[in-house]
């Protein structure tokens, strides 16, 4: 498939581009007044996720407003555990909560099987609808949480300060945790491949909580299953190569390991020096990131200056996708996002 703007895909495939592509984690989100209006229409977050029409609407909002170089499917990483019967809800000020978290070995070993066009059909409907509405303007990114990150929520029941339940299980019964992670990896492979078949042009695996772990535990319980997923993904579909991105928050200490698992790109949080990362892993993978989201709390002039710093850090040549080092904050002024996108568009050609 050819896109009117193919800068994002070309960069992932190491092809020549005239500028650095730009997209943003959580680019369809609460900082946009049009998103808040759509969410109010939906009634709650899960209704918004489960309505293909509304998910399409909010996916396209930042593309229409800012002209990002890629759209990302509007959904949530916790759709898989919800489909497995853990009963996901979102409470204002508390975030995601599972009413039926995993508490026993029997529950872990007897998780419900998930049908991609049954329990998760609403996601696939949204993918098909978004691709149609995008009309080849830009590519659509699909995504999933990593098995480790999904398991943290499934065992803890919600976000946590220390994640003691999963970390305790990791040491007290590693075989059981491996069984859970292995099962989740199989489901994620099927989930991402279903997104690919339905039209996404690239996929990203979010490992939000891998940074909790020591290096050895990260390799054994997180990266191992990310690699299994990458090995199981459809690499080409309809004569189109499907590139992949991995992102571990607080994962900068393991860049060399991440660069060796088969992804096309590695995302960096804002605590990792982009020039150090490029020097360390060279051209082995594309680098994505990594402006501090807090920069967008400032003003357009400061945003522009910080964009230039990020571009300077990466330096001359292709192989960089501009993004934040994590998701945008809900209260950001959209004018600062516009300043970021405009600055990347205007300044980055000089580096190519």
| Beta strands at 88-91 and 95-98: parallel, antiparallel or unpaired | antiparallel
Instruction: Give the whole-angstrom CA distance, residue 37 versus residue 16.
Output: 39
Give the active site residues: 26, 30, 39, 76, 153
| Rounded-to-10 torsion of CA 12, 319, 248, 118 | -10
Is 30 marked as a binding-site residue? yes
Instruction: Give the whole-angstrom CA distance, residue 86 versus residue 78.
Output: 10
Please report, for the chain, the start and end positions of each structural domain, with discontinuous segments joined by +. Answer: 1-27+286-352, 73-267
Closest CA to 307 of 19, 8, 17: 19
Closest CA to 82 of 29, 145, 152, 154: 154
CATH, domain 73-267, list 3.40.50.150, 3.40.228.10, 3.40.50.12780, 3.20.20.210 = 3.20.20.210
Instruction: Give the whole-angstrom CA distance, residue 318 versus residue 19.
Output: 8
- Phi/psi at 330 (5° precision): -60, -30
Name the DSSP letter for residue 220: I
How high is the pLDDT of residue 166?
A: 96
Whether pTM > 0.95 for this model: the answer is yes
Is 29 marked as a binding-site residue? yes
Is 258 marked as a binding-site residue? no
Instruction: Give the whole-angstrom CA distance, residue 330 versus residue 75.
Output: 16
In a structure prediction context, what are the per-residue pLDDT tens digits for the chain, which is 352 residues long?
789 999 999 999 999 999 999 999 999 999 999 999 999 999 999 999 999 999 999 999 999 999 999 999 999 999 999 999 998 888 776 788 999 999 999 999 999 999 999 999 999 999 999 999 999 999 999 999 999 999 999 999 988 888 999 999 999 999 999 999 999 999 999 999 999 999 999 999 999 999 999 999 999 999 999 999 999 999 999 999 999 999 999 999 999 999 999 999 999 999 999 999 999 998 999 999 999 999 999 999 999 999 999 999 999 999 999 999 999 999 999 999 999 999 999 999 999 9
Is 153 marked as a binding-site residue? yes
Evaluated on CA atoms 265, 270, 272, 278, the torsion sign reads: positive
Instruction: Give the whole-angstrom CA distance, residue 175 versus residue 182.
Output: 10
Contact 138, 8 (CB under 8 A): yes
Is 326 marked as a binding-site residue? yes
The tokens for 326 are: 């994590």
């Amino acid at each position: 498939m050819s896109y009117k703007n193919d800068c994002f895909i070309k960069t992932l495939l190491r092809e020549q581009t005239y500028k650095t592509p730009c997209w943003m984690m959580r680019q369809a989100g609460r900082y946009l007044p049009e998103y808040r209006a759509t969410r109010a229409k939906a009634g709650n977050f899960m209704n918004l996720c489960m309505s293909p029409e509304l998910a399409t609407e909010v996916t396209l909002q930042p593309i229409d407003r800012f002209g990002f170089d890629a759209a990302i499917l509007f959904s949530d990483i916790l759709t898989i555990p919800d489909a497995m019967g853990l009963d996901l809800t979102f409470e204002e000020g508390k975030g995601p909560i599972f009413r039926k978290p995993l508490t026993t070995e029997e529950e872990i070993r007897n998780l419900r099987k998930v049908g991609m066009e049954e329990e998760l059909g609403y996601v696939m409907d949204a993918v098909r609808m978004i691709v149609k509405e995008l009309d080849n303007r830009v590519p659509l990114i699909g995504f999933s949480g990593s098995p480790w990150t999904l398991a943290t929520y499934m065992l803890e029941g919600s976000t946590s300060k220390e994640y003691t339940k999963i970390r305790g299980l990791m040491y007290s019964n590693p075989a059981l945790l491996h069984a859970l992670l292995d099962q989740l990896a199989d489901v994620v492979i099927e989930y991402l491949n279903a997104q690919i078949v339905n039209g996404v042009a690239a996929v990203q695996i979010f490992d939000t909580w891998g940074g909790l772990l020591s290096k050895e535990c990260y390799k054994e319980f997180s990266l191992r299953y990310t690699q299994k997923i990458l090995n199981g993904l459809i690499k080409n579909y309809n004569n189109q190569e499907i590139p992949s991105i991995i992102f571990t928050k607080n994962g900068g200490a393991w860049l060399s390991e991440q660069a060796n698992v088969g992804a096309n790109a590695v995302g960096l949080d804002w605590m990792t020096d982009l020039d150090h990362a490029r020097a360390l892993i060279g051209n082995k993978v594309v680098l994505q990131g990594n402006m501090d989201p807090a920069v967008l709390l400032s003003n357009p002039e400061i945003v522009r200056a910080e964009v230039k710093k990020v571009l300077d850090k990466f330096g001359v040549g292709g192989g960089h996708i501009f993004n934040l080092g994590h998701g945008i904050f809900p209260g950001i002024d959209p004018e600062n996002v516009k300043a970021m996108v405009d600055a990347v568009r205007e300044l980055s050609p000089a580096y190519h």
